[in-house]
Amino acid sequence: MSLQPSNPSDDSAVEVAPPLLTHFRDAVLTITLNRPAAFNSFDLTLKAALLDTLTRAAEDNEVRAIVLTGAGRAFCAGQDLKEHLRLVTEGDGQLTNTVSGFYNPLAMLITGMPKPVIAAINGVAAGAGAGMAFACDLRIAAESASFTMAFAGAGLSADTGASYTLPRLIGSGRTLELMLTGERVDAATAERIGMVSSVVPDAELADRAQELAAKLAAGPTAAFAWIKASVRTGQDSDLPTTLAFENEAQIACFASADHREGMQAFVDKRAAVFLGR
C-alpha cells in the first residue's frame, strides 16, 4: 500500500495540521478531509492533496474500496469562500481554473474510480461538498448530517457534477427546487428522497462505513469497475449502445481470475475468495 496512513495523534501531524488524513485497513482507504475549523471547505492546499490522493488510490491495486469523510462537525462545506473572496478581490488568475482544475477532475476521479467509493457524511455537506458526496457510489449519513445546495446563495451555478448526479438520484424537479431555494435537507429527508443510501447514529458512522467498505473490498474489484461503467453508460445511452457495452464488459469479466474463482466457489459450495482481478 503506497498511501501511508496519517495519525492525527502524532505530534508532527498536530504541528503540520495536514489538510487531509489517510488510513488503510482491510484494503479500504479512508480519506478524511481535515480542516474542521473551516468545515473542511476546499482551499488550494486541500484541493491539491485530495486530487493527488484520489489519483494515486485509483492506480493502487492494494486499494479496493475508498471511504470519503470529514473531521469534526462537517463533511465538507464546499469552496472556501474566504479564500475565494480574496482571489476574486485580487483578480488572481487561479480563479479561472477553479472548476476545470479541481471540481471537474474531482467528479471524474470519483465517478470513474475503478473501485467502490463510499461517502460517510458525518455532518454538513454544502455546495461542492454535497456534490462530492453525490458523485460517490454509496452514501451513508450520520443522523446529524445535512445537505444544502448553497451555490445560488453565493451567486454561483452548480459544479462538481451536481447538476448531473443529483437529478439521477432525486429527479430534476426536486433538484431544481433545492438548487434554486438553497433549502436545507436533513438526514432523514435525504434518505426518504433517495439522496443517501442509509442513515445511522453519529457514533456508528465510521464503523458502519468501514464495515461496508471492507465487504466491498473483498469483492470482485474488476467486475465492480465494469458495473460502475455499465451503469454510467446506461444513464447516457440508448439501449443498443448499452447492450453493446454490457457485452464488452462481460467478455472482459469472462477472462478474469475472479470470475473463475466465483464459478469454482459456487461448484464447491464455499465462499469465493476474490483477488480483485
Q: Are residues 189 and 250 in the same domain?
A: no
Three cell numbers written together for 232: 454510467
Q: Are residues 178 and 98 in the same domain?
A: yes
Is 4 domain-assigned? no
Q: Mean pLDDT of residues grouped by 10 in the chain (277 residues)?
A: 45 65 97 97 95 97 98 95 78 78 96 97 97 98 97 93 97 97 97 97 97 97 96 94 96 94 92 92
Query: At a CB cut-off of 8 Å and minimum separation 6, what does 120 contact?
Result: 67, 68, 69, 75, 140, 142, 205, 206, 208, 209
Q: Are residues 122 and 42 in the same domain?
A: yes
Q: Are residues 53 and 185 in the same domain?
A: yes
User: Which domain-ending residue is among 217, 239, 258?
Assistant: 217
Q: Are residues 25 and 133 in the same domain?
A: yes
Q: Return the pLDDT at 16.
A: 63
Q: Are residues 126 and 231 in the same domain?
A: no
Q: Return the pLDDT at 232.
A: 94
The tally of domains found in the chain comes to 2
Is 2 domain-assigned? no
Quickly count helices (H) and strands (E) in the chain.
12, 10
User: Which domain-ending residue is among 178, 202, 217?
Assistant: 217
Q: Return the pLDDT at 128.
A: 96
pTM metric for this prediction: 0.90
Q: Are residues 176 and 246 in the same domain?
A: no
CATH number for 96: 3.90.226.10
Is 5 domain-assigned? no
User: Which domain-ending residue is among 199, 217, 235?
Assistant: 217
Q: Please give the residue range of the domain that contains residue 31.
A: 11-217
Is residue 116 classed exposed, middle or buried when 0-12, 13-18 and 19+ CB atoms within 10 A define those classes? buried
Q: Are residues 192 and 258 in the same domain?
A: no
Least Cα distance to 164 among 124, 107, 238, 105 occurs for: 107
Q: Are residues 250 and 154 in the same domain?
A: no
Is 25 domain-assigned? yes
Is 273 domain-assigned? no
CA distance 182 to 184: 6
Q: Are residues 54 and 166 in the same domain?
A: yes
117-121/65-70 β-pairing: parallel
Is 3 domain-assigned? no
Is 276 domain-assigned? no
Q: Are residues 190 and 242 in the same domain?
A: no
Three cell numbers written together for 21: 488524513
Is 263 domain-assigned? yes
Q: Are residues 194 and 239 in the same domain?
A: no
Q: Return the pLDDT at 118.
A: 98
| Dihedral angle, C-alpha 64, 70, 75, 77, nearest 10 ° | -120
CA distance 260 to 220: 11
Q: Return the pLDDT at 81.
A: 82
